[in-house]
Chains A and B, each alone.
Chain A
């Protein structure tokens, strides 16, 4: 079956430091990977949509300079939160799907980021 792993599951970083999180797809080809953030009391905000061999599309209020994403192959993606501050805390989810544009999306369990 299709599985998505994310690590670390939980992490704590000091304000102003950076944190890298990873997403691994197993059992299918992760042609497209979407990174989301679920902030406290909010729904899932789409940060960016990455497609292998295409440019990464960032949503409004999110930039590559703050959330650089790597998607080097069909099974792996990573995202870094640079210069993290309190407002960056939350649950970061990775959702991956295969080549069909409207294919079913599979989610990892998320990386919970706490910023001190």
Chain B
């Protein structure tokens, strides 16, 4: 089965509101990255975490390796936040395979 389960698959937000994306892992992961796919299709690095939390502007991410999850919180959503968000996790134990979630399609409405 999938090692990375990302939810929700789709999310609709009104401008100024917020929500959280989540990735659950079926095994212990060593690190996690969050990306946003821009209008050109490029993956933009948002966060890289080996543990704890990081914040950047209106985005905040957390990673708990022991509890096997990571979250991406968006607050005060803006129209330009629309896009597809992915998490990707690195397995531990010497097998450094980066595995992606299936993505969350976010649409921010006026």
Q: Which residues of A contact B (CB under 8 A)?
A: 32, 34, 36, 42-44, 46, 49, 91, 93, 95, 101-102, 104-110, 112
Least distance between A9 CB and chain B CB atoms (Å): 9
B87-110, CB under 8 A of A: which get 1 and which 0?
A: 010100010111111110000000
Q: Which residue of A lies closest to B35 (CB)?
A: A107
Number of A-B contacts (CB under 8 A): 49
Complex Cα spacing A101 to B88, Å: 15
Contact partner, B96, options A93, A101, A112, Cβ 8 Å: A101
Least distance between B31 CB and chain A CB atoms (Å): 5
9 contacts between A and B (CB under 8 A): A44-B88, A49-B96, A91-B41, A95-B98, A102-B30, A102-B50, A105-B88, A107-B42, A110-B41
Q: Are A46 and B97 in contact (CB under 8 A)?
A: yes
Within 8 Å of chain A (Cβ to Cβ): is B82? no
Contact count band on B: 20 to 34
Contact A49-B97, Cβ < 8 Å, known A43-B103, A102-B30, A104-B48: yes
B103: which A residues are within 8 A, CB to CB?
A: 43
Within 8 Å of chain A (Cβ to Cβ): is B33? yes
B27-63, CB under 8 A of A: which get 1 and which 0?
A: 0001101010000111101001010000000000000
B98: which A residues are within 8 A, CB to CB?
A: 34, 46, 95, 105
Q: Which residue of A lies closest to B29 (CB)?
A: A102
The 10 closest A-B pairs by CB, nearest first: A104-B48, A109-B42, A107-B43, A44-B100, A43-B102, A102-B31, A102-B30, A101-B96, A43-B100, A102-B90
A43: which B residues are within 8 A, CB to CB?
A: 86, 100-103
Least distance between A23 CB and chain B CB atoms (Å): 13
A93: which B residues are within 8 A, CB to CB?
A: 43
B48: which A residues are within 8 A, CB to CB?
A: 104
